Chain A
Amino acid sequence: MEYGVVVFYSTSWALKAEKVAKEGGFEVKLIPTPRQISSDCGTALRFRWEDREALLDLLESKGVRIEGVHKI
């Protein structure tokens, strides 16, 4: 199982993204932003890498602002 994380500018965006993603039926989990990605103590959204395109489309359509996407 390959995972990716969506990284956000602030924790509140991460929380909103989790809500949107779960409502959209995606299997996601909030995790602390992986240390290797950032020294910021933010919150990231882990998702299944195969869901990448669909998830990012959904987040964009709901106005969720993201900082970036990384494979982990």
Chain B
Amino acid sequence: MSRFFASRIGIIVSGAIIGALAALLVLWGNPPNMGICVACFTRDTAGALGLHRAATVQYIRPELIGFILGALLGALLFKEFKPRSGSAPLIRFVLGFFAIIGALVFLGCPWRAYLRLAGGDLNALLGIAGFIVGVAIGVFFLKRGYSLGRSRPVGTAVGLVMPVFALILLLLLLFRVSFGENAPIFFSKSGPGSLHAPILISLAVGIVAGFLAQRTRFCTMGAIRDVIIMRDFHLLSGVLAFIVAAFLVNLAIGKFHPGFAPQPIAHSNHLWNFLGMVLAGMSFALAGGCPGRQFFMAGEGDGDAAIFIFGMLVGAAFVHNFNLAGVPDKIVDGKLVVGGPSLWGQIAVIVGLIIVAAIGWTMREK
């Protein structure tokens, strides 16, 4: 069975299953073209916890919980649960912080970029192009000797922090715990945060995806990186299967609408779609994994990936507290008003590009 997951057929089948399920999640209640978006879902979870107060995006997303638990299950079953940490955790926190800023300016992580494409949202092409450029810049730094150093085996507790945190979130969600009047846990009553599939379905999809991704090393960033560094198409074949499967499901359920604008929870500000994802691509490349992969590694016991996730959580809070996010396109009086990030969001992306480039330039193994 291990050999199946390691094989080309294994990752293609897994990518297709995950892609199909992601498209179906929209049918079952998730926001349009957002069956799975690791950045948006992290932001929604941050909102539910009250870390930001944007009322339309507050909901603990069970898919992310499923990612952690599914990956943990896969790791435990195949004896790959390896608590480890120590590879420049603070830098990884910063990378997570800026990765999600870039993604939320584009209004999606690479998973959502591919799902938006599979839904006909052509703005995703700009985002994907920026993402590829960002990963290529990361590879440039890798070739110069960039390294965050090796991690080391650590006590089991380190590897269990994220799974336990995920379980606590699950309980808070299932029991709709309220910590007081106007206090978390928040549940959006309108907007994307109010659109969600039933909890158990979201959780089940997350677990299946987490398990398959842990077994196959599915990674939307690695797919690009491996092509650039060594012309290896193994991970990319899984990503392509993901896109094609999501596309076919969208066609079948009538959720394929090609065009640039208006597209749901998206904007057509081409420059910032591109630049936001350059920042995201660089950050994920320097951190060694796309946001999904960081969750799967955290489920395997990787404490450094867990810190990256906490960086994303805090970054998402900053995005909505400081008005950095991309604003979707709107139709006003029958005319299209192109959205995009505020001036603060644009500044944040530029600052992020500089800081992440500085990390890429200066971090070397001691």
Q: Which residues of A contact B (CB under 8 A)?
A: 9-13, 15-16, 29-32, 34-36, 39, 41, 43, 65, 67
Contacts and interface: CB of A to CB of B under 8 A. Distances in A.
Interface in B172-224: 214, 216-217, 219, 222
A10 B234 contact: no
B230 interface: yes
Contacts of A9: 149-150, 365
A31 B300 CA distance: 23
Contacts of A13: 147, 365
Given A36-B2, A36-B6, A41 B149 contact: no
B260 interface: no
Contacts of B365: 9-10, 12-13, 65
Given A12-B147, A39-B82, A65-B365, 13 more contacts: A9-B365, A10-B150, A11-B142, A11-B229, A12-B142, A15-B142, A15-B229, A30-B230, A31-B232, A35-B2, A36-B6, A41-B222, A43-B229
A29 B232 CA distance: 11
24 contacts: A10-B147, A10-B149, A10-B150, A10-B365, A11-B229, A12-B142, A12-B146, A12-B364, A15-B142, A15-B143, A29-B230, A30-B229, A32-B226, A32-B232, A32-B235, A35-B2, A36-B2, A36-B3, A39-B80, A39-B82, A39-B214, A39-B300, A41-B289, A43-B226
Contacts of B143: 12, 15
Given A41-B217, A41-B288, A34 B6 contact: yes
B148 interface: yes
Contacts of B293: 41
Interface hub of A11, A36, A43 (most chain B Cβ within 10 A): A11
Nearest to B81: A39
A36 B6 CA distance: 7
A58 B223 CA distance: 31
Nearest to B144: A12
Contacts of B142: 11-12, 15
Interface residues of B, number: 32
Contacts of B80: 39
Contact of B230 (A35, A43, A67): A43
A65 B234 CA distance: 26
B155 interface: no
Contacts of B361: none
A61 B85 CA distance: 29
A15 B146 CA distance: 10
B109 interface: no
Contacts of B149: 9-10
A41 B285 CA distance: 12
A9 B126 CA distance: 34
Contacts of B230: 29-32, 43
Contacts of B229: 11, 15, 30, 43
Contact of A35 (B146, B217, B288): B217
A35 B5 contact: yes
A65 B149 CA distance: 11
Contacts of A41: 217, 219, 222, 235, 288-289, 293
Contacts of B160: none
Question: A-B pairs with the 10 shortest C-beta distances?
Answer: A35-B6, A9-B150, A30-B230, A12-B147, A10-B147, A39-B80, A41-B217, A41-B222, A12-B142, A12-B145
